[in-house]
Structure 1
Amino acid sequence: MKEYTFIIKGMGGEHCVNVIKTILSKQQGVTIHQIEVGKATVTIDESLNSHSNVIAAIEKMGYKVER
């Protein structure tokens, strides 16, 4: 398991925080630690999911994750 902090562009407020929370909670192997406007900290069990898959799920909803 590895911890990541994603810097997320395009989040404007609490609604966006809830959208990101929903996206991440549906990802297998992802444990959410903190989500706030512009940032999400999670742990990913890399035997179940990957860093790039989680980023793809966030970006599919119209947000941009800094790399």
Structure 2
Amino acid sequence: MEHTYIVKGMTCQHCASAVTEEISELSGVTAVDVDVASGRVVVTSDVPMDTIAVAAAVAEAGYELVQ
């Protein structure tokens, strides 16, 4: 399953790495693709994603989930 989110505040590859690392720790996540320029984060998982858990992971990385 693919889930697309918008993350606010990312400006560089380090930002993308931090977000990728935190989201990758969530149960069921198999891949994370981050586009810093657009703020788009595509999460591939083998289970439905809990948006609250994704938002918490993004916040842990220091950024904000917009949608």
- Supply the distance in 2 between the matched residues of 1:31 and 1:55 (Cα, whole angstroms): 17
Ranges of 4+ aligned residues in structure 1 off by more than 3 Å:
none
- How many aligned residue pairs are there? 64
- Assess, with a 3 A threshold, how the Cα gap between structure 1 residues 53 and 16 changes in structure 2: closer, same or farther: same
TM-score (norm 1): 0.77
* 1:22 match: 21
Give structure 1 stretches of 5+ with no counterpart: none
- Is 1:31 the counterpart of 2:30? The answer is yes
> Is 1:60 aligned to 2:60, yes or no?
yes
Task: Measure the CA separation in 1 of the matches of 2:32 and 2:61.
Answer: 20
Equivalent residue number for residue 42 of structure 1: 43
- TM-score scaled by length of structure 2: 0.77
Give a deviation string over 1:19-60, Cα, whole Å, max 9, x none: 0111111111112242121121013413xx522211121123
Matched position secondary structure for 1:11: coil
CA RMSD, Structure 1 to Structure 2 (Å): 1.7
Q: Which amino acid aligns with 2:8?
A: K
5+ residue gaps in structure 2? Answer: none
- The alignment partner of 1:34 has SS state of strand
